[in-house]
Amino acid sequence: MKEAIDYKAVLEDLEARRDALDAAIAALRLLSGEHAVAVGAKSLPVTAEIQADTFVGLNIPEAASKYLRMMGKGAKSTEQLIEALIRGGLKVTPASISSVLRKNNRDGEGDVIKVGRGLWGLQEWYPGRPRRATKSSTADSEEKD
């Protein structure tokens, strides 16, 4: 007689293993100089605050990516990005952040993507979410064919 598989127990075991791997990865990232990383659905505490020069010399997509990585997994609002980037030394406006990040998202550049109305996250956090293509970029690719 075939024994029934306890899928709940299998899932719990896999999740425990994943959490252990995430913790090991998080520790290595902290040792390598990264400040915060996601662990499962939780984040490790941020070990570095945003300083007045945290984003100096970075462009908007680079600074947004760095901020999202510092904060750990979880989408952030446009307002949160604005406040953090300004606090970190980048001069931005709501319109500049949204337009630059949307353009990067459409062009397939950078790793910050729109994940909801006024919400941004890292592409790696949403692996099944495709980048949006614009009508003009679709038309351009058809002309190249």
Domain count, the chain: 2
- Average pLDDT taken over every residue of the chain: 76
Candidates 98, 127, 97, 102; CA nearest to 113 is 102
Whether residues 100 and 56 fall in one domain: yes
Residue 31 pLDDT: 65
Higher pLDDT, 52 or 26: 52
Q: What residues have CB less than 8 Å from 47, skipping those under 6 apart?
A: 30, 35, 36
Average pLDDT over residues 104-133: 81
Average pLDDT over residues 128-143: 53
What is the C-alpha separation between 102 and 66, in angstroms, rounded? 17
Here the CATH number for the domain that contains residue 125 is 1.10.10.10
Full residue range of the structural domain in which residue 60 is found: 49-133
> Crossing angle of helices 94-107/60-71, nearest 10°?
90
Mean pLDDT lowest for which of 11-20, 82-91, 124-133?
124-133
Residue 60 pLDDT: 93
Average pLDDT over residues 90-96: 86
Whether residues 17 and 59 fall in one domain: no
Q: Do the Cβ atoms of 137 and 106 come closer than 8 Å?
A: yes
Candidates 107, 91, 20; CA nearest to 56 is 91
Residue 81 pLDDT: 92
- Let me know if residue 1 belongs to a domain: no
